[in-house]
A = this chain, B = another copy of it.
Amino acid sequence: MAQGTPPVRPADGLTTRQRRNRPLLVVNTGDGKGKSTAAFGLALRGWNQGWNIGVFQFVKSAKWRIGEQAVLERLGALHAETGEGGPVEWHKMGAGWSWSRKEGTAEDHAAAAAEGWAEVRRRLAAQTHDLYVLDEFTYLMQWGWVDTDEVLATLADRPGHQHVVVTGRRADPRLVELADLVTDMTQVKHPFQAGQKGQRGIEW
């Protein structure tokens, strides 16, 4: 981002320092690639600042982001060993969230997803993490698996200084309205169109 003076000085009564350190709600949406990858890149940057990172993968998917998970968890372990960076937790839906008592039995994806959101809500209330990545969370709102009004209110009223990054296609307009930073990733060209299959290191 360019350095310099913002075009508008908001009349919010905050000092520049307070405004600079305002917690952000970031949304990466659109049909193109890079929504999650950019979110994990932010997590990596946050780790380097010593932040407590929480990643929540909400859609049971072939796109488990094995590479990112391995690296971020390795960085979390490095923090435990040497004190470098910050702690990292990576949770994913599927056989059940790691905190779920119903592990292995969650046939109902909607219920499992809602359970994941309930845990995120508890963590936001407890100010557990400095940065939350809610990966593919837009679909939960779209599919009615969570109550969008309640999600928006929870995000808007989150206490303390917690950054939240939401990824997924077709972000709800009210989420976009609430967010501080929104990027739409547009697919211009994809090798899949030319018959290319996904490949190791690029897709996962």
Contact = CB atoms under 8 A, between A and B. Distances in A.
A181 B20 contact: no
Interface in A167-188: 176, 179-188
Contacts of A13: none
A192 to B, nearest CB: 6
A119 to B, nearest CB: 23
Contact of A188 (B34, B47, B182, B189): B182
B197 A16 contact: yes
Interface string A44-75: 11111101000000000011001110110011
Contacts of A179: 189
A197 B44 contact: no
A108 B20 CA distance: 34
A40 interface: yes
A48 B72 CA distance: 10
Contacts of A130: 201
A153 interface: no
A117 B187 CA distance: 27
A110 B42 CA distance: 30
A20 B194 contact: no
21 contacts: A1-B203, A2-B62, A6-B196, A7-B192, A10-B195, A19-B195, A22-B191, A24-B202, A32-B184, A33-B38, A33-B183, A34-B38, A40-B41, A44-B71, A45-B67, A46-B67, A71-B75, A180-B194, A180-B196, A181-B202, A183-B187
